[in-house]
Structure 1
Amino acid sequence: MAAEREGAVVAKGHEEGMKMAASLLEEFGLPLGLLPLGDVVEVGFARATGYMWIAQRRKVEHHFRMVGKHVSYDADITGYVKPRCIKKLKGVKAKELMLWPPVNEIAVDEPSTTGKIHFKSLAVAEPGFQSWVFPSKR
């Protein structure tokens, strides 16, 4: 894990961490409301590898009303950010029926096509939701 973080930019504290997380989402074409984070301790991003991490004081659960989706964000979230995609995601789960399968990837279609966002896991592949249903809290 140390090699993945080499040369990373790190933001400490809630305010700076939220700014950095929003900046990363925007830069990579992901909806700003995708990560409704709680009390952020640290956000880091290593541009060379695409590895990002978010540390919060505690787990956060959020209900996206527009799509009727419950999502759980662990205290530690990691993944590899690419344009319109977070791969090898760890620390995020989306409720399906009575189960909470982990979300392994989040991908956004090209705006020129459907513009839909997809949550992918080993258990379930979502049909996709319009990206505007993940508004920013700003």
Structure 2
Amino acid sequence: MLAEMGFPKGLLPMKNVVECGIVRETGFVWMKRSAPTLHYFEGCKTLASYDTEVTCYIDKAKVTKITGVMCKHLFMWVTITDTTIDTPFPTRVHFKSSVLGIGKSFPITDFMTQEEKLNYVQHQG
């Protein structure tokens, strides 16, 4: 689903998932987990927290109205509400929070699987 919309597969770790689905007509996505999950993204040195239920709307190069996802930013947890990638040549992933307009972007490779990184490097060269 993420790859179809241009996002790297590693953006949304699939640990402890017991149910997930998409309503293709609207782009509504939900994931239910057996327990909240923490995931550390090595590339960007960021800790993310995924609640037992994560929902969002996904479309080409953007994910909006995200619920259930937080990232640690300067000693505090910040709720992530939107994520976009550069188009037409994705090089960065941009995250936005509703908290005082806080946003941050990272290289797209920070969220790619090893296979995606190899393909990305081959197409860049």
TM range (shorter): 0.7 to 0.9
Percent identity at matched positions?
33
| 2:97 equivalent to 1:118 | no
Q: What residue in structure 2 maps to residue 135 of structure 1? A: 112
Equivalent position to 1:59, from 33, 36, 43: 36
Q: What residue in structure 2 maps to residue 5 of structure 1? A: none
The one-letter code of the counterpart of 1:107 is T
Matches within 5 A, 1:3-82: 24-82=1-59
Kept in 2: contact 1:37–1:60 (CA 8 A): no
Indicate the SS of the match to 2:73: coil
Task: Give the superposition deviation at 1:115.
Answer: 1.7
Task: Give the superposition deviation at 1:137.
Answer: 7.0
Normalising to structure 2: TM-score of the pair? 0.84
Task: Give the superposition deviation at 1:135.
Answer: 2.2
Counterpart CA distance in 1 for 2:53 and 2:24 is 19
Q: What residue in structure 1 maps to residue 118 of structure 2? A: none
Counterpart CA distance in 2 for 1:52 and 1:120 is 18
Number of residues of Structure 1 aligned to a counterpart in Structure 2:
113
Aligned-CA RMSD value:
1.5
Unaligned runs of 5+ in 2: 116-125
| 2:68 equivalent to 1:99 | no
Q: What residue in structure 1 maps to residue 119 of structure 2? A: none
The one-letter code of the counterpart of 2:96 is K
Normalising to structure 1: TM-score of the pair? 0.77
Which has more strand, going by share of residues? 2
